[in-house]
Amino acid sequence: MGLRFSKMHGAGNDFVVIDLRRGGPAPTPALAAAIGNRHTGVGFDQLLTIETPEHGDAIARYRIWNSDGSLAQQCGNGARCVAAWLVRDGATASARFALESPAGRVEVENIGDGRYSLALGVPEFAPKRIPLRMDFEKPEYGAEIGGRELRFGAASMGNPHALIEVADVAKADVAGIGAALQASDLFPQGVNVGFVQVLHRDEIRLRVFERGAGETLACGSGASAAVAILIRQKRVDRLVQVHLPGGSLAIAWPRDDAPVRMAGPAAFVFEGEWSA
């Protein structure tokens, strides 16, 4: 028997989902990279494993591999897909349930029509908590990267994010600037780099260059971090529609000490078996 998997996506952010609750070895970085190759494998932005929870009040836990085989700490679009997979599998009949992630507990609500709402945790802005090599917390930082001066906000949603505001996301040098910031020594654990265009106080456009995956069609934790950073900069309100290349997410941060909530779709694409 090969390795059974489901191909899924959330707003275009695509995943391979593998159920390991009944045993089986976790993917190695080499296997994850092989499956993730879009030319010779299945192709994905992230691979998600569903595993037995460590605490009894969660229905499952999940882990995350990027398409280059590296591990990730959080993936909001992936968490929605894990939730949808578990609901389809009959793991819960409740509209509200909890998952365990590498970044901590995730509260989930099934809001119908293939959409799920998640509480992704309270954003971290202290440089040591991101982590970011800066001495003091600021709404916006400045640094010379690749011969150009960049201004960016930064936060952690369980994984590190930088956010650069641009006049037009369609014209932003996402790959060039994103790769340069990732290659700098400012973020010792790497960073997901978001490029945001503020349309209104309740609406933004966003593109994200992710660690270990490059630019993706959507990034749930990146959308959550972007809204949190912009709220701290007093650029947007507490409920924001985030338009990404693959679709839209609703992000709400009701108050500074509350978790950021993200709502969006989760879709099944096909079932397969990896036998290479």
Residues in binding site: 13, 46, 66, 76-77, 159, 192, 210-211, 220-221
Which residue reads 């529609």 in tokens? 241
DSSP conformation class of 24: -
> Does residue 81 carry a catalytic annotation?
no
The binding site for substrate comprises 13, 46, 66, 76-77, 159, 192, 210-211, 220-221
Cis peptide before 123 (omega within 30 of 0): no
**Rounded CA separation 77/118 (Å):** 9
**Rounded CA separation 209/142 (Å):** 19
Among the listed residues 61, 5, 11, the one whose alpha carbon sits nearest the alpha carbon of residue 264:
11
Which candidate in 132, 219, 260, 266 is catalytic? 219
Residues 6+ apart with CB under 8 A from 153: 139, 140, 141, 162, 163, 229, 230, 232, 233
Task: Note the maximum CA span of the chain.
Answer: 54
> Does residue 75 carry a catalytic annotation?
yes
Which candidate in 31, 47, 75, 172 is catalytic? 75
Active site residues: 75, 219
